[in-house]
Structure 1
Amino acid sequence: MDARLLTSHAMRVAEQFPAVTQEQPFGPDVEVFKVHGRIFLLVMGPPDRPLVTVKADPFDAAELRAAFADIVTGHHMNKRHWISIAPGDAVDRDLLRELVTDSYRLVVARLPARRRPVDPETFGYRP
């Protein structure tokens, strides 16, 4: 996936989720997506080499880094709980959608039950 498609697809997926806000608290070069004030997606870096950073289960994060050359430890984030996806051929649109969705679900699961916009156990699963 090229740089433009990587960033636009990740942002388009995130924008569709309930209770999402988009901000630039770290400057104009970093798009931050939050659910009820908690970050689940960052899109950052120069246009020719951006990174899409998402939250991941630590076990899954290690497996993903081992399996995909374009997935590395989270840039400027907790290295155990975050991964960054770079442009390249290893990650396709479906995998990127799944990674952004999983990140959203992980963050929603940590919210108090009354503030959860979706059920994190079932949201985003396709039969």
Structure 2
Amino acid sequence: MNGSALHKTAADCAEELPGAQLEHPFGPDWEVYKVRGKVFMLMTDVPGRPVVILKADPGEAHALREQYRHISRGYHMNKKHWITLESGEGVDEELVRELVTDSYRLVVAHLPKAERPVDPHTYGTGTRGAR
């Protein structure tokens, strides 16, 4: 998957998520996806390389960084709770969609129950593949 496909896949997935909205609070070079005002995904180019920045469970984030050389700590974000995804070997559409959905679910889980557009414990879990 090349960089433009990475951004397109991530954006397509994010736009399918209930309540997701695209904003540009940091200017035109940053696409920021939020649910109920809370960020779950950012997309930009880091010196010419398209990247997707996502929220991740700290234990899961560590395991992902160990498994994939194209996943690193969150760029300009809390390094414990965010990951940066680049295109490269092992990064396919299924992984991108899974990581975007996981990030969304983590953010939704921290919203007050009345504001949640979906149940974060069940949403999107029927299609998850084993890693």
Normalised by the length of structure 2, the TM-score is 0.94
Q: State the partner residue of 2:32.
A: 32
The alpha carbon displacement at 1:46 in A equals 5.5
Q: Which residue of 1 aligns with 2:12?
A: 12
Q: Which amino acid aligns with 1:121?
A: H
For residues 33-75 of structure 1, what are the alpha-carbon distances to aligned partners after superposition, in whole Å with 9 as ceiling and x for unaligned? 0000000000011594111000000000000001000000000
Q: Distance in 1 between matches of 2:6 and 2:110?
A: 27
Aligned to 1:23: 23
Give the fraction of aligned pairs with identical amino acids, expressed as a percent: 51
Residue aligning to 1:124 = 124
What one-letter code is carried by the residue in structure 2 that aligns with 1:19? Answer: G
How many residues are matched? 127
How big is the shift at 1:90?
2.2
Q: Distance in 2 between matches of 1:20 and 1:43?
A: 14
Unmatched 5+ residue regions in structure 2? Answer: none
Give, in whole Å, the separation in 2 of the partners of 1:99 and 1:82.
Answer: 11
CA 1:125 to 1:116, structure 2 compared with 1: closer, same or farther past 3 Å? same
Where do 1:5-84 residues align within 5 Å? 5-45=5-45, 48-84=48-84
User: Pairwise CA RMSD of aligned residues?
Assistant: 1.2
